[in-house]
Structure 1
Amino acid sequence: MAETTSNVAQGVTDHALERYIGNTIRELRQKHGLTIAEVAEQSGISRGMLSKIENAQTATSLETLAKLASALGVSLATLFRNYNIPAGSAQLVKQGEGMEVVRRGTKRGHTYHLLAYDQGPTKRFEPFLITMDDASEVFPTFEHPGTEFIYMLEGAIEYRHGQSTYLLEPGDSLTFRGDIPHGPEKLVVLPIRFLAIIYYSALPMLE
């Protein structure tokens, strides 16, 4: 399925980050001996869009990056691993300084901030701070490896996992399998903020 212009508007806007991600995707693809056509087919995006991403000619959404990471046999965090990471084994992310990896819709939309960048040989977890403050937003469903944990900080949301829907309010948490379709169903009280932590199994991923 080809990417649309709206995906570009929703994506990462920092050109340095676009170049870094493009180079990382190209290096991983070449490392595994895959062609642009093969990765495009496996990820469900067009060859032209993949070429533009690799050459930093367009921004893209978190959803598309997740598809590319899956096609390349790595976790999403691998695409950001060494981007602007200080040396050392500890990472401090000050309030409001997490890397914004996707923005959907208008300025009053849907934002993801990646709060840590795993530097190890395999990915164990990915923590995101997610903010939603536009009731008119249309949110896609997600599927990914591992287990996801959500902790509500502010607002209220109906969150769907498979055939079930859960009302989440501040202090509530929800843990579920990531490979079952899931995502926001209804924004009940705005603004909404919650932590989403994806934990991967101990089995090493292809790097």
Structure 2
Amino acid sequence: MDKGLDSSGLPLEESIGAAIREVRQRHELTLAQVSEQTGISRGMLSKIETGQTSAGLDSLARIARALGVSMSMLFSKYDAAGSSAQHVKKGQGMETVRRGTKNGHTYHLLAYDQGPVKRFEPFLITMDDDSQRYPTFHHPGTEFIYMLEGKIEYRSGDRVYLLEPGDSLTFQGSVPHGPERLVKCPIRFLSVIVYPTPSE
């Protein structure tokens, strides 16, 4: 891989590694979780993140897909702004790894590559197994949920809401939240996280 420098003077390997680490940590993912999703060892992922080794295009593609970003996002310090519209056909959302993946959630990211500062993340989430206890989530910004199929009891703070098709729920992401009980499976809902705008 070319040993160019990014706009801050970092070598290309370090710039890409820093971008991967930033996205992974933002989603509170461990190296082990990304390793399981990509088939790349934890040791190799660590070396990629610290810029100690160059990742091949195949490895970068697998990492980007697992994290729910395009490869161009990993090169964002080198790229100009992308196109102004993104069309994702039915069933074509990127399946990504998130903290709930190991507990039976399937996450399809419906938009990605939004520039160097991510403004929002829209997911189509599918849940069809209530055999495990589900984790509690918290993150910056505001989350909006819209139910498409099934029934779920969903906790936000100290309240539990029964969500059925057509229902919506909006709450602050910093408040602990997550599924309390899957009432009727399969369950599908849209989850849109809107992140706060960084202060100028």
**TM > 0.5 fold call:** yes
Q: Which amino acid aligns with 2:17?
A: R
Q: Which amino acid aligns with 1:83?
A: M
Q: Secondary structure at the match of 1:116?
A: coil
- Whether the 8 Å CA contact 2:154–2:179 is kept in 1: the answer is yes
Counterpart of 1:98 (choices 85, 93, 97) is 93
Counterpart of 2:191 (choices 182, 196, 206) is 196
Larger radius of gyration: 2
Q: Secondary structure at the match of 1:104?
A: helix
Alpha-carbon distance between aligned partners in 1 of 2:130 and 2:189, rounded to the nearest angstrom: 16
Q: Which amino acid aligns with 1:186?
A: R
> Are positions 1:128 and 2:123 aligned together?
yes
How far does residue 189 in structure 1 lie from its aligned partner after superposition?
0.6
Q: Which residue of 2 aligns with 1:54?
A: 46
Unpaired runs of at least 5, structure 1: 1-21, 32-38, 57-76
Identity over aligned pairs, percent:
57
Please report the RMSD computed on the Cα atoms of aligned residues, expressed in angstroms: 3.7
Alpha-carbon distance between aligned partners in 2 of 1:184 and 1:100, rounded to the nearest angstrom: 20
- Whether the 8 Å CA contact 2:72–2:113 is kept in 1: the answer is no
Displaced runs of 4 or more, over 6 A:
22-25
Q: Which residue of 1 aligns with 2:5?
A: none
> Are positions 1:185 and 2:180 aligned together?
yes
Q: Relative to 1, partners in 2 of residues 1:172 and 1:24: Cα closer, same or farther, differing over 3 Å?
A: farther
- The equivalences for 1:1-207 within 5 A come to 26-28=17-19, 51-55=43-47, 80-83=68-71, 88-102=83-97, 103-104=101-102, 109-203=104-198
Alpha-carbon distance between aligned partners in 2 of 1:92 and 1:157, rounded to the nearest angstrom: 29
| 1:122-176 CA distance string (max 9 Å, x none) | 2211000000011213211101000000000000000011111100000000000
Structure 1 window deviating more from structure 2 (111-120 vs 189-198): it is 111-120
- Whether the 8 Å CA contact 1:145–1:179 is kept in 2: the answer is yes
Q: Secondary structure at the match of 1:92?
A: coil
Alpha-carbon distance between aligned partners in 2 of 1:204 and 1:100, rounded to the nearest angstrom: 31
Count of matched residue positions in the alignment of Structure 1 and Structure 2: 150
Q: Which amino acid aligns with 1:157?
A: I
Alpha-carbon distance between aligned partners in 2 of 1:164 and 1:90, rounded to the nearest angstrom: 38
Q: Relative to 1, partners in 2 of residues 1:30 and 1:92: Cα closer, same or farther, differing over 3 Å?
A: closer
TM norm structure 2:
0.62
TM norm structure 1:
0.60
Q: Relative to 1, partners in 2 of residues 1:24 and 1:82: Cα closer, same or farther, differing over 3 Å?
A: farther
